[in-house]
Every structure is written in structure tokens, then in C-alpha cells.
Amino acid sequence: MTNVGYSSHETLSTTGLVESAPLLEMNNISKRFPGVLALDDVSFNLKAGEVHVLFGENGAGKSTMISMIAGVYQPTEGTVVFQGKETHLQSVHHARSLGISAVFQEFSLVEQLTVEQNLFLGNEQMSYGFLSRKAAHAEAKRMLDDLGFPLKPGQKVAYLSRAEQQMVEIAKAFRSDLSVLILDEPTASLTERETDRLFELVEQVKAQGVGIVYITHRMAEIKRIADRITVLRDGCFIDTVDAKTATEDQLVSLMTGRSIDQIFPKINFTPGREILSIHNLSTADERVKDVSIHVRRGEIVGVAGLVGAGKSKLLRSCFGLENITEGSIVFDDEDVTGYSTREMLDRGFFYNPPDRRNEGLVMIRSCRENISLPSLHLPAFQKAEILKRRSEAKTTQEIAAALQLHPLKIERVVDHFSGGNQQKVLLSKCLTRDVKLYVFDEPTVGVDVGTRVEIYKFIAKLCEQGAAVVVVSSDLPEVLHLSHRLYVMQRGKLQAELSGDEITQENVLRNFFDKEAA
């Protein structure tokens, strides 16, 4: 491994002081956004040569914290001390000039440009006032080779897979004069091998005295690379613990403020008639290959797998959203293979998409309009083609009240609600019509613990009332604790079917990854 040149004067001098002075101190930081206090008096420090994990649920304030370290936002209150000096990080550019680099979950890549153009964006290689394309190409190639990423510098970013784009993003951050590296769930779309490679790099820069702020939800990663862990909850500092002594249960209860059995309800399963059976299904894009599953009334069936395992595609193909090449789908004793969304809705199949902003809700319209949208053709909402707006308002108000929408204002634009309440609006949509099978795809993405508990109760109630429920989720505890039966998918194939006592974390994880690779 050739030297990528991280060793600036500062990092060299601080390596001697690892135990005494922190590299970066965030003291009593508060950050207020219009109407929201995202961080409330949080202190956090980073030593040179350590991996410091920020741990917490979505909305706990982790992203806000790293955004301030990276110079994206400025704190409303509190001070930042960098290498012993109080510093105002005015911009991303300023932070980068101090050696602070971030890899965010949301990529900062320009898709129309090539890999090398992206790597040097804002920091172009110049000669005599013109772009020096040859030098940029050579430098990009050297950087990628050093990192061990199999990317071509001349390729357009738009044509890369998500994992490859992630690599470009990481390569952008791993540059010379690095002192603080921020990684926000960098492994979310990487394969095992790429993850191993990333961790090697992290170890390497760590040895050179770089401080690393690392955000992850994965316990295995924390065990593997963390030195210290700071837990945030609802914008507040909870604790900083030593990674060597912290246990998983301890971390979960610090993160959520509750123990596991307070989060998940007890559900009485009374499995009845089979309502959905998928036989040897394959899709045109080959993301689902030869999968067969079945679902009965009165049970919750979990579908687990890594991102991209095809678990979401499997259910989407039953809802008219994917091209099916082989296999058949039987719903309520009727062959519904290849039916459209509308036809499936009318038969009582409801699919709740994972991305509420992108697919689930019309963010700029009111709650009322969103909740009633799938059902406007029903007699409850219209008569002779004229909408019954009063009855619509009444019905949606009742549904919103039952789900404890806060604030309970159905005329308010969805965008103005918090993430948790937006999720409630999304879930409300399935309550306006008769549904026999509910599919919830990542039902608790980006919601706080309180809402999470309410959503689980809501799902449990639907099931106990005799409906069939499918929960598709990448959140392992969620599928482990809710499912009556659990299917595990991997790379488009069904890997295992677990039920009862077989549903354990070990059994699921074993089926997450390639057996050959393990």
C-alpha cells in the first residue's frame, strides 16, 4: 500500500498527545431549526486516532451533529474547538481546508460527470489556468488504486451502481491532509468484501492519527471497529461509553430509553385461511428469482434481507409494479399474476411503500387529501361523481384521531408534519377501504421511538382483527419481534423460512450473506 499522504504536520504532532487533548471538541452544542430543536446542549469529543461511533435512532440528532462538524450547518449555541483552538466552521469548504472530510448518506456526486471529475470537483487540477485533464486522470487512477476500488476514472457516475457511487464518495473524502473523517453509514450498500476493504482503510488512517466519526446502526460493525460510542436520543446527549465494555442490550436501551419488550407488543396469532401464495416468481430485472411464499389471515409474515436482496421487489411485483417473467400469484383464490395496482387495491391488497416522501405521500397537499386518495371512488367519498367533502373530512378526521396524529389538523399540508406523523398519515391511507392483506415495506423508517411503538401496536391490532400482514424490513429487531413466520431473502432468492423459536438473530444473519463467501 503506497502512502496516500495523510501525514500533515498537525496529525503528526497530535499523535503524541492521543490521551490528553482531543482533536475536536464540540462543547454544549445546540442547533435550532425553524420550529425544531434538533440538538440540545450536546457535548462530544473526538481524539486523534480513534473511531468514535455516534449511535441513536433516526431523528436523534446524529446527522445534525456531523453536519456541523463538516461545516454544513453552524451551531445555534456552543463552541467548537479544533486542535486546541476555538474555531467557527463557516462552510464545508472551510472545514475541508482544515482536513475535515465527510461521506454523507446522501451522495454529493454530480451524476452527469465522470468519476475523476467528481473526485476533483471544486479542487480541480490546473495548469496555466486551464484544466489539466491528463494530470487529473493519473491522480484519480492512483487514488482509486490506493483505495483498492475497482472503478474506471473516466466512467460517468450515473452509470455506476449505488455501491460504486458509495466508493466514489469515500474516495473523495480520503484525500491528503486528512485530520477528521466522518462516515455516515458507509457500508449500507457495500458488499462484505468492499466493507472489509473500507475497514482496512479506516484502520490505516486511524494509525496515522486521523479521528473518525462513524455513524452506523449495525452492532457487528460497532464491535469490530469502534473505540468509543456516544449515544444520542431525541437531540439530547445520553452517554459516552467504552466500546469494549458496552453490551448490545445496554446500547439498545440507551438508544431507545426502553427495553426491547416495551417496544414490541405481544401479538396473538390465529392463522387462518391462506390468502396470498406466490409460486416460483421471477421478475424481468432478475432481482427476484424463483421465489415461493405464502401468507395466511391472522398472521404477520416478515420478509428480511439486506438492501437489494429483492424482498421489496417480491411484494411490489404482486402490486403491479414489476414485470413478472415467470411464476404465478394467487390472491384470495384468484390468479392475479400481472394485475395492475388498481386491480389489486380493489381486491383488498394494500402495499405501503417504504419511501413516504418519494412514493408514499403527496407532500404538498393536505392530510385529508392524502388519506382519502386511494378510496375516492367508494360510496363513502362520492355519489354520482360528486365528492362528498364533508363526509370525507369526517372520516379522515376519525382515522387521524385513531392514529393519534399530532397536531390533529387534517387540513395541514403533510410536509409540515414531523417524520413520525407523516408516517402515520401514510399508514392511515390503508384504513379508508376494505383490506384483506396489508404489506408494510419498512414501516418505521425515520420515526422516533414513541411513534415506532404506536406503529407496532397498530400493525398488531390489524393482525389480531384477522387481517393478513406482511412486514418487509431491513430493521432486524423489527422483523424478529413482530413476525409469526419469517422469510429471509438474499440476492433475489429465498434463503430460509423460519417460524416460532427458529426466529433468532443468528438464524437470520446466517442467511443474510453468501454461504460460499462466509
**Closest approach of another protein to the CB of residue 112, in Å:** 17
**Closest approach of another protein to the CB of residue 400, in Å:** 16
Of 387, 401, 408, 509, the one binding another protein (CB under 8 A) is 387
Contact status: 362 vs another protein (CB under 8 A): yes
Kindly give the pairing relationship between strand 324-331 and strand 485-490. unpaired
**Contacts for 465 with CB less than 8 Å, ≥ 6 apart:** none
Contact status: 358 vs another protein (CB under 8 A): yes
**Closest approach of another protein to the CB of residue 363, in Å:** 7
What residues numbered 22-61 form the site for another protein, per CB under 8 A?
A: 34-35
Of 279, 416, 481, 491, the one binding another protein (CB under 8 A) is 416
**Closest approach of another protein to the CB of residue 177, in Å:** 37
Of 92, 113, 363, 496, the one binding another protein (CB under 8 A) is 363
Q: What three-state secondary structure class fits 280?
A: strand
d(CA 252, CA 475): 13
Q: What angle do CA 256, 257, 259 make, to 5 degrees?
A: 85
Nearest alpha-carbon partner for 204 in 223, 185, 187, 181:
181
d(CA 14, CA 287): 49
- Rank residues 149 and 350 by Cβ distance to another protein and give the closer one: 350
Contact status: 383 vs another protein (CB under 8 A): no
Of the ranges 62-70, 159-167, 357-365, 465-473, which one interacts with another protein (CB under 8 A)? 357-365
- Rank residues 138 and 363 by Cβ distance to another protein and give the closer one: 363
Of 429, 452, 484, 485, the one binding another protein (CB under 8 A) is 429
**Contacts for 6 with CB less than 8 Å, ≥ 6 apart:** 176, 177, 178, 205, 208, 210
Nearest alpha-carbon partner for 22 in 51, 45, 56:
45
Exposure string of 180-217, with b = 16+ CB inside 10 Å and e = fewer, is bbbbbbbbbbbeeebbebbbebbeebbebbbbbbbbbb
- Rank residues 104 and 350 by Cβ distance to another protein and give the closer one: 350
- Alpha-carbon Rg for the chain, nearest whole angstrom, is 25
Q: Write the interaction track for another protein spanning residues 295-334; mark x where CB under 8 A is met and - where it is not.
A: ------------------------x-x-------------
Which spans of this chain sit near another protein (rule: CB under 8 A)?
A: 34-35, 319, 321, 341-342, 345-346, 351, 353, 358-365, 369-370, 373-374, 376-377, 382, 385-387, 389, 407, 416, 429
